[in-house]
Structure 1
Amino acid sequence: MKKRWQFILLIIVSLFMLSSCELLNERQIKNNIINTVVEYQTMSIEDFQSAIEVAIDRVEDAVIGVTLKKGSDRVSIGSGVIYKREEIKIINEVVNYKYYVITNRHVIKGDNPSETYNVSVYLGDEDKELPATVVGMDNKVDIALITFVHSRLINPVEFAGDEEIKKGSFAIAIGNPDGYDYYGSVTFGVVSSPLRYMNDDTDGDDVNDFSAEYLQHDVAINPGNSGGGLFNIYGQLIGINTLKLVNTDIDNMGFAIPHRVVKIIVTEYLEKGKTIVRPRLGVLGIEVRSLTEAVIESEQLKEIPDIYGDEQQYGIYVSGITENSSIDGSGIEIHDIILEVDDIKITRTNIITAKLNSLVDYQVGDEVTIKYYNRSTNSIKTTKVTLKSVG
């Protein structure tokens, strides 16, 4: 018996599939496109499976292989996602296409800066390797942009919109786990959490120096999936897979860079060749929740005030302020406690730093409202500051 959902779900999926790419002459390429529209008034399990298959068909050609080489030797293999296509014309006739590909920085960056590396893309359905150009990379968020030229028409993926991604939303990963023998592998699962804050070591000194936002999911990913796409059930890009937690006690904990973070980095910075400058508060601080009597005494801090009522303590204890930074001269002083930034309760220090680092909600020059405990007056105050990059 078919199980039917109790609500009406209407999905209209436009699937653009390349049915043929026929050379008419040396300078002209004809591409025949099939448009398929699927409508569901009610959805059975079989219909649901069909919707997933349609979503995969829509985007799988745009998820390709990315290879890093030193000379003729392969150094690493990962994945990449085509998100933009440009026509290359001669005398108003399309002769080639230029493709823009998102991948991870660690996929295309060699370990030895004194060595010369080259990057190529691999199209598994054609068994073809093509040279690629590195346009740019973010030295903090694990994102890079490469381009390549090809005569075949490939439809780019579509970024998901700004609507909220929820826990339990279906997610589809496409990539090349363990190399090209498993090119274009598809795995399926759910979003475990749409937003996690994690600390990264971005300069290789074994000290975490950067906080970033991630989307957590339980979709199976493995080495080779790095740089590949995470999609919703409509075939829209919701993230770029980049890491998973590996431990004998941990399973199915994968992480993707959220699509909104990816989109702003590649379209507003890397494509345009702009230097990525992130806003900073310019405060040296300690999480209030981590302060014990022993720490307070050893660091010569002052006691945490009784301002929380029935709430658990939170905030950043200000132990230092960077000169000429965002909060320098704002009224916030050493030994004060920053409680909220734009109504965001600071339960952990990496929450606000990750939000600033994402570049989605905040840019240098934006104004934010900070709520803080002012020790000199023993009161809660608010102040507005303009974000700077110092700090």
Structure 2
Amino acid sequence: MGYYDDFEETKPKRKTGGNMTSWIAVALVSAVIGSGTTLVIVPKLINANVIEVNGNSASNHNATTTGGTSVGSVSNMSVNVNTGITEAVNKVKPAIVGVSNLQKQKDFFGRTKATDSEVGTGSGVLFDKKGYIITNNHVVDGADEIEVAFADGKHIKAKVLGTDFYTDLAVLKVDENDVKDITPAVLGNSESLNPGEPAIAIGNPLGAKFAQTVTVGVISALNRELPVTDEQSGQEVFSMNVIQTDAAINPGNSGGALVNINGEVIGINSAKISSSGVEGIGFSIPISEAQPIIQQLIDNGKIDRPVMGITPVNLAEFPAKQRPDVPVETGVVLYEVSDYAKKAGLARGDVITKIDDVQVDDQIALRKALYKKKPGDKIKVEYYRGQDKKSLEMTLGKQGDVK
């Protein structure tokens, strides 16, 4: 009958005489030994802080007393919740803001309304006493005005200093007097992260109603590739390197902070996979990769990316009859070549397969290799012209200057 044998209703017959006397004697001896052991061990456990005794336990007990003996006493227990996570959250939370995208709307007759309407919301991170705020490009895209909401309920207008489509980053600016009482978030180092360590997401999921929501998880993986798609063509044009986390990231969290246990911002939350049946897969832009972009947006209002002066097409996309006669299956075909690229030695129909030591299988790989450089840098280009493998060195130009 297993563990329930003690509760069976069939009772054994009692035995009388010497056996009962022996049983009582054994019970009394056991009780004495147990009480003595308790008297010796319990004080030691209390001194070692294994057992905590509340100094006001007498007033906190809820007990029935009979002849000086407390029966069924219950004492209150205090628990310290000031954990590493709450400390990290308290450091960063004041610097997390809501971001509203305001755009001009037209009425039924096509007339522009007097006031702007909110068409989208997101989050942002104040990271400098001068009033600089990081957010996502897609949060502010198309805005006529940007409004920022702080933890204390204050709403102020913000200026968009610059945006970058490829990295989905944007920098806003508010008057430094409006943030003089707020401690900016500290930007950490995302290059030292390890899968499994705590990750804390802070932002405004679903808008102001759930402002400054905190969700907790771990770093699920590093160096994930997230496609960047051109909305007009629907084609993938770039691939972002992102942090994967299972800390819940929902619409409105975009632009908010991913924080480590030290209360440092290690990523800017950007997206989540929302397919049916998929949970716990969110993505954040590594802060160490974001910082150079952020600084350029502050300094120049845009990103000056290097260019080669070419129009590339993926070799794999060419129909078999139109493919260049080259001994490789992947690479980028130079569909158009500017005078700048011609002077470097490139020609229409060449197939680039490497930039420096980086394999170039398609346009995305080419852009990723180039966007790690800056205008004026020299690169080594490996390419095929027909069956001949060639290489050359060229200086990267500045976007807008190369024709």
- 1:329–1:252 Cα change, 3 Å: farther
Query: What's the CA shift for 1:81?
Result: 0.3
Query: What's the CA shift for 1:103?
Result: 1.3
Give the counterpart of 2:210 among 182, 192, 215: 182
Equivalence for 1:80: 124
Query: What's the CA shift for 1:375?
Result: 3.2
Structure 1 stretches of at least 4 aligned residues deviating more than 6 Å after TM superposition: 46-49
Equivalence for 1:118: 145
1:214 maps to 2:241: yes
Query: What's the CA shift for 1:234?
Result: 2.5
Give the counterpart of 2:285 among 237, 257, 260: 257
Listed as ranges, the matches of 1:240-279 within 5 Å are: 240-248=268-276, 250-268=278-296, 270-279=297-306
Equivalence for 1:25: none
Distance in 2, matches of 1:345 and 1:277, equals 24
Note the alpha carbon deviations across 1:188-236, whole angstroms, 9 max, x for none.
233344334444344x413337414231413211111011112233222
SS at the partner of 1:225? Answer: coil
* Percentage of identical aligned residues: 28
SS at the partner of 1:84? Answer: coil
- 1:371–1:231 Cα change, 3 Å: farther
Query: What's the CA shift for 1:264?
Result: 1.9
SS at the partner of 1:350? Answer: helix
Structure 1 segments unaligned to the other structure (5+ residues)? 1-45, 87-98, 112-116, 306-312
Give me the CA root mean square deviation: 3.2
Query: What's the CA shift for 1:151?
Result: 5.9
- 1:162–1:322 Cα change, 3 Å: farther
Query: What's the CA shift for 1:334?
Result: 4.5
SS at the partner of 1:153? Answer: coil
One-letter amino acid of the counterpart of residue 104, structure 1: N
Distance in 1, matches of 2:301 and 2:146, equals 22
Cα pair 1:175 1:224 within 8 Å, conserved: yes
One-letter amino acid of the counterpart of residue 301, structure 1: P
Distance in 2, matches of 1:334 and 1:193, equals 41
Distance in 2, matches of 1:48 and 1:195, equals 34
Equivalence for 1:105: 137
Distance in 1, matches of 2:194 and 2:396, equals 30
Equivalence for 2:339: 324
- 1:196–1:273 Cα change, 3 Å: same
Note the alpha carbon deviations across 1:247-266, whole angstroms, 9 max, x for none.
22543332223323432222
Equivalence for 1:367: 378
Query: What's the CA shift for 1:183?
Result: 1.3
Query: What's the CA shift for 1:362?
Result: 0.9
Query: What's the CA shift for 1:340?
Result: 2.3
Bigger Rg over Cα: 2
- 1:171–1:355 Cα change, 3 Å: farther
Query: What's the CA shift for 1:85?
Result: 0.4
Query: What's the CA shift for 1:66?
Result: 1.3
Which has the larger share of strand?
Answer: 1
Query: What's the CA shift for 1:179?
Result: 1.4
Distance in 2, matches of 1:49 and 1:302, equals 67
Q: Size of the alignment, in residue pairs? A: 308
Query: What's the CA shift for 1:350?
Result: 1.0
Query: What's the CA shift for 1:60?
Result: 1.3
Listed as ranges, the matches of 1:33-44 within 5 Å are: none
One-letter amino acid of the counterpart of residue 100, structure 1: Y
Equivalence for 2:50: none
Structure 2 segments unaligned to the other structure (5+ residues)? 1-78, 104-114
Equivalence for 1:138: 164
Give the counterpart of 1:344 among 344, 348, 358: 358
SS at the partner of 2:205? Answer: coil
- 1:80–1:162 Cα change, 3 Å: closer
SS at the partner of 2:182? Answer: coil
Distance in 2, matches of 1:373 and 1:301, equals 10
Distance in 2, matches of 1:192 and 1:385, equals 40
SS at the partner of 2:319? Answer: helix
Give the counterpart of 1:383 among 383, 392, 401: 392
Query: What's the CA shift for 1:241?
Result: 1.5
Query: What's the CA shift for 1:374?
Result: 4.6
Which has the larger share of helix?
Answer: 2
Distance in 1, matches of 2:81 and 2:336, equals 55
- 1:356–1:199 Cα change, 3 Å: farther
Equivalence for 1:24: none
Distance in 1, matches of 2:305 and 2:326, equals 33
Query: What's the CA shift for 1:118?
Result: 2.7
One-letter amino acid of the counterpart of residue 324, structure 2: L
Distance in 1, matches of 2:382 and 2:82, equals 49
Equivalence for 1:56: 89
One-letter amino acid of the counterpart of residue 75, structure 1: V
Equivalence for 1:238: 266
Query: What's the CA shift for 1:84?
Result: 0.6
- 1:47–1:295 Cα change, 3 Å: farther
* TM-score (ref. length: structure 1): 0.68
Distance in 2, matches of 1:49 and 1:322, equals 62
* TM-score (ref. length: structure 2): 0.66
Distance in 2, matches of 1:262 and 1:354, equals 14
1:127 maps to 2:153: yes
Query: What's the CA shift for 1:104?
Result: 1.8
